[in-house]
Structure 1
């Protein structure tokens, strides 16, 4: 290891909910922490839907996603971890002393004793609409995400897809749009049951099993009509639209991490109950990890982060406490409590 290299106790790869909470909790455990995020900001997958209402995080009922990101970001920075943005980690080199060097696609190198993989779904790319010429409408009224609700006010909106985001967008847009039509090629929808029931109970038109097959434009610049086709009978229908939103899934890119020798499938790394992977010193948290009792909620990502950090701490020091003391008895908070005027 070069003399000038700085060795960290834990390096977290990924700045979504799991990565941010891991950065905070590792500070509670007095670990020298680095977090590396491929984007230029924290938030992870939550950045895709900043105006979505989040209902299932303890203590917040509900909270706008953008506001939750702000709170998690602030919490993640509490113990001054080193934050690195704009670097996508691809390479891994194990050193003779058991530590690791993480290598970014751009060549930067990071030395660490342990690693927590909080990669979410990787570098996400929206699956594009497979209709010839569709890309020309991406600058007008063909959308792959909903960043703001207001542009859709009073519009006739068609949503193609049946994933969690499609259901959420339908529910968020239904109160403000002139009409919302959801087209899905299967009868079953993804997402939480309560949200699906809400969508089906609203004024939104839910058409299954149908697929979006043609886009029509009078001016060559915006979509004015669409053709949908029944998947089983081939029967077609035309609908007038002002905006089309596509939710045909996400393609993930984990780059060179798939070549590290981790036990994983297309979307997940498999871990034990201590969030340990098959490579010693490498742990995982959040959407990227799968284990027997996995809970696929943001709240579950926080628990993953705690378990992964505790395991990383014990990997470095088997004699360390198994978990951090609660905040009311944690030495790391005493000075901060005094600054807030809290009498101990």
Structure 2
């Protein structure tokens, strides 16, 4: 049976993977995305309601909207997309073709690979309080699917990272009261966000959630305990949100490939080369001296990884794609957009 060989297979369908698919289309590469879940979006799917402020040229926008925009953009040059398959094995033939085997047994063939698996296999770090699981179907939350659920409520948020701080700021205008409890004095979030949070919410540091008091299957109050003095405080609450981060296995089977890696990522060069020729990386899966762990950083990684993959296949090729305003791949698409604009203006 004839093998369908791709120029690049992108493993992972988060922001880095989706933008890599778009950019590889600009470079006229035959592209496939393989995503272990049944939808694109990656870790951003965890916080669909979260407002993102730090994407260049875009005002505050919900994660879900960014995901939908990236999906539309990734589809521009019609890449193949495979859902529900986790890559469990990789081998390289003598002719340089990589063979990727999924947990389903299906094999995929490609000249290059871009690893864009983000944070890898993650599991939520749950609240380590006896009986907490009893309230997970009522008012103990680990994610926010609708911020309006917290309207006019007394909300306690446990955590000290960006998510906890950002949610406190977002909920403060609509909640009746927002309490933030963190086990340390310092927060590991952007300084400006922490300052804003402290002006909007009641903050308890260094405290931990020691006990949940329930009535009819719902949390009615929470006991907090000071980390040093053991002093306790009891607060009446309507909703509890826990943002303690995620336990992360960033590599999964990928670590068995023999790639050089550090504690929090596959090691790459400044242009996204891994230690194995023909394999590149982008997004949260990789680490390097200048790594920027923002969505904007993932986009830049993706461009560099695609350009490196293109040059691996064709060392005489251009070092980067032509900008979209002068790229022949957009000629027909630009005309379609002009016609849509004229029609909208009644011209």
Question: TM-score if structure 1 supplies the norm length?
Answer: 0.95
Aligned residue-pair number: 339
Give structure 2 stretches of 5+ with no counterpart: 342-347
Q: Give the one of 205, 226, 233 matched to 1:230.
A: 226
| Residue number in structure 1 paired with 2:2 | 4
CA shift, 1:200, in A, is: 1.3
1:190 & 1:232 partners in 2: Cα distance? 20
1:56 & 1:185 partners in 2: Cα distance? 27
1:314 & 1:151 partners in 2: Cα distance? 50
Q: Deviations over 1:294-337 (max 9, x none)?
A: 11211111110000000000011101100001112111011111
2:215 & 2:75 partners in 1: Cα distance? 52
Q: Matches of residues 167-206 of structure 1 in structure 2 within 5 Å?
A: 167-202=165-200, 204-206=201-203
Residues 113 and 280, structure 2, Cα contact 8 Å, conserved in 1:
yes
CA shift, 1:240, in A, is: 0.7
Q: Matches of residues 112-261 of structure 1 in structure 2 within 5 Å?
A: 112-202=110-200, 204-219=201-216, 221-253=217-249, 254-261=251-258
Q: Deviations over 1:110-167 (max 9, x none)?
A: 1111111111101221111112221111010111111110111111111111111111
1:257 & 1:197 partners in 2: Cα distance? 40
Give structure 1 stretches of 5+ with no counterpart: none
Q: Is the partner of 1:341 in helix, strand or coil?
A: helix
Q: Deviations over 1:37-90 (max 9, x none)?
A: 111111111111112221111221122221111111100000000011111122
Q: Is the partner of 1:42 in helix, strand or coil?
A: coil
| Residue number in structure 2 paired with 1:87 | 85
Q: Once superposed, which parts of structure 1, at least 4 consecutive aligned residues long, lie more than 3 Å away?
A: none
Residues 262 and 287, structure 2, Cα contact 8 Å, conserved in 1:
no
1:292 & 1:326 partners in 2: Cα distance? 27
Q: Give the one of 284, 299, 302 matched to 2:299.
A: 302
Q: Is the partner of 1:195 in helix, strand or coil?
A: helix
User: What's the RMSD between the two structures over aligned residues?
Assistant: 1.4
CA shift, 1:265, in A, is: 2.9
CA shift, 1:107, in A, is: 1.8
Q: Is the partner of 2:128 in helix, strand or coil?
A: coil
Q: Give the one of 274, 285, 288 matched to 1:288.
A: 285
| Residue number in structure 1 paired with 2:345 | none
| Residue number in structure 1 paired with 2:29 | 31
| Residue number in structure 1 paired with 2:268 | 271
Q: Matches of residues 69-80 of structure 1 in structure 2 within 5 Å?
A: 69-80=67-78
1:124 & 1:233 partners in 2: Cα distance? 34
Which stretch of the first structure deviates more once superposed, 89-98 or 204-213? 89-98
